Amino acid sequence: MSTLATGRPNIIITGGAGFLGSNLAGDMVKTSNIICIDNFITGNQKNIDILLQNPYFEFLRHDITRPLDFDQFPELKKFQIKAQGIQSIYNFACPTSPSNHAKLALEILEANSSGTKNMLDLAKEYHAVFVHISSQHIYGKAMSSQPIKESYLGAVDPIGPRSAYDEGKRFAETIASYYKRQFNLNVKIARLFTCYGPKMAINDGRSIPDFIFDALNNKDLIIYGDEKTENTFCYVADIVDALIKIEKSSLAGAVNIGHYEKYTLKNIAERIIKLCESSSVITYKEPDWHVASYNIPDISLAKEELGWFPMVDIEDGLLRTIEYMRSNLRIYQI
């Protein structure tokens, strides 16, 4: 086991048992040693069960709001961290489900503040690339229907019921940018727009997994809005591809990652009902407080600097997601 780590970079993924983190880990473990960190506040061990059997993957149950001491985890000896160091840190750790924005507000704020700082300090110690996973919600409500560029400063409510998430993500970008300027740390910020795919929690307040869950159970699909309410949806494999490209790039600053094509939620719901062969019907309700306004990303920078472009079309992505969620319905129902 002492030679296991040879030739492979050591990669930390915080929030690694969540939807996005576990998908990234599953891809990167093919070529890297993965140190997955999660405290299971919202992460799901089922997302990483198959990875736990891989000798190049180790899971640490740890809260990143506390400093991380590798000596407390003897299972990491095989990765030879003292000799090889840490090459990259992907910082996902933060509850993201809209249904948790009020319930876990303090945990969200702590993850984005002290948690992000602890991981930045670790990146500073090991001269690691730090990829911070941010969100479209740092922009708040768009002032126009035009795609949003990275230069838009945003319009966020600092005291609203979902402010812990929106402002927390803004603060995390601020502290990461400070470390870049003050310590010349190699920091990159990925502003993710709406994404979906396998391992996404079912029935958690986001449209596609909620639609699929209800369609598989022949229940009404509820749209919080009207027939014209629309959004963009980027499949998780495209997100993973973008994040890996960001880590390897010379990009400085933040970059939008998402799909450029808009769909009405009515169109998405109809597609899901058809693909699930469901008897569900679509109903409409006034948006709850946790339903954010969704923006359309301008992904010109990602195309130019990363050579990245979303490749999975909506029909294929929905079909893959439905097949996965159908086979794991009992496991992922919450």
Establish whether 165 is a catalytic residue. Answer: yes
What is the per-residue pLDDT for 103? 87
Number of neighbouring beta carbons within 10 Å of residue 277: 9
Count Cβ atoms below 10 Å from residue 321 Cβ, excluding itself: 23
Domain membership of residue 69 (yes or no) is yes
Phi and psi for 8 in degrees, rounded to 5?
Answer: -115, 135
3-class SS of residue 183? helix
Q: Go through 158-190 and write b for each residue having 16 or more CB atoms within 10 A of its CB, e for each that does not.
A: eeeebbbbbbbbbebbebbbebbeeeebbbbbb
As for how many domains the chain has, the answer is 1
Predicted local distance difference test score (pLDDT) of residue 293: 66
The reply to whether 35 falls in a domain is: yes
Distance between CA atoms of residues 119 and 49, nearest Å: 25
61 - beta bridge partners? 38
pLDDT at 104: 92
pLDDT at residue 334 is higher than 60: no
The catalytically annotated residue of 56, 90, 152, 165 is 165
What pLDDT, on a 0 to 100 scale, did the predictor assign at position 300?
A: 98
Is the Cβ–Cβ distance between 194 and 229 less than 8 Å? no
In a domain, 287, yes or no: no
d(CA 197, CA 27): 14
CATH of the domain at 185: 3.40.50.720
Give residue 331's pLDDT: 62
Tens of pLDDT, residues 99-127: 788 889 999 999 999 999 999 999 999 99
Query: Containing domain of residue 57, as a range?
Result: 10-200+233-260+295-312
What percent of the chain has pLDDT above 70?
95
Dump pLDDT digits (tens) for 2-16.
445 568 999 999 999
166 Cβ contact list (under 8 Å, min separation 6): 135, 137, 138, 140, 156, 157, 160, 292
**Residue 49 resides in a domain:** yes
Q: What pTM value is reported for the model?
A: 0.94
**270-325 per-position pLDDT tens digit:** 999 999 999 999 999 998 755 556 789 999 999 999 999 999 999 999 999 999 99
- 289 is a domain residue: no
d(CA 92, CA 42): 12
**Predicted pLDDT of residue 118:** 99
CA dihedral 91, 308, 305, 84 (to 10 degrees): 40
- Lowest mean pLDDT of 86-100, 184-198, 288-302, name the range: 288-302
pLDDT band at 1 (very low <50, low <70, confident <90, very high): very low
Task: Note the pLDDT tens digit of each residue in 143-170.
Answer: 778 899 999 998 888 998 889 999 999 9
Whether residue 21 is predicted with pLDDT greater than 80 in this model: the reply is yes
Burial category of 304 from C-beta neighbours within 10 Å (exposed 0-12, middle 13-18, buried 19 and up): exposed
Give the rounded percent of residues in the chain with a pLDDT score beyond 90: 83
Q: What average pLDDT does this structure show over 218-241?
A: 96
Please indicate, yes or no, if residue 324 is contained in any of the structural domains.
no
Kindly state whether residue 215 falls inside one of the protein's structural domains.
Answer: no
In the prediction, which pLDDT does 97 show?
82
Residue 60 lies in a domain: yes
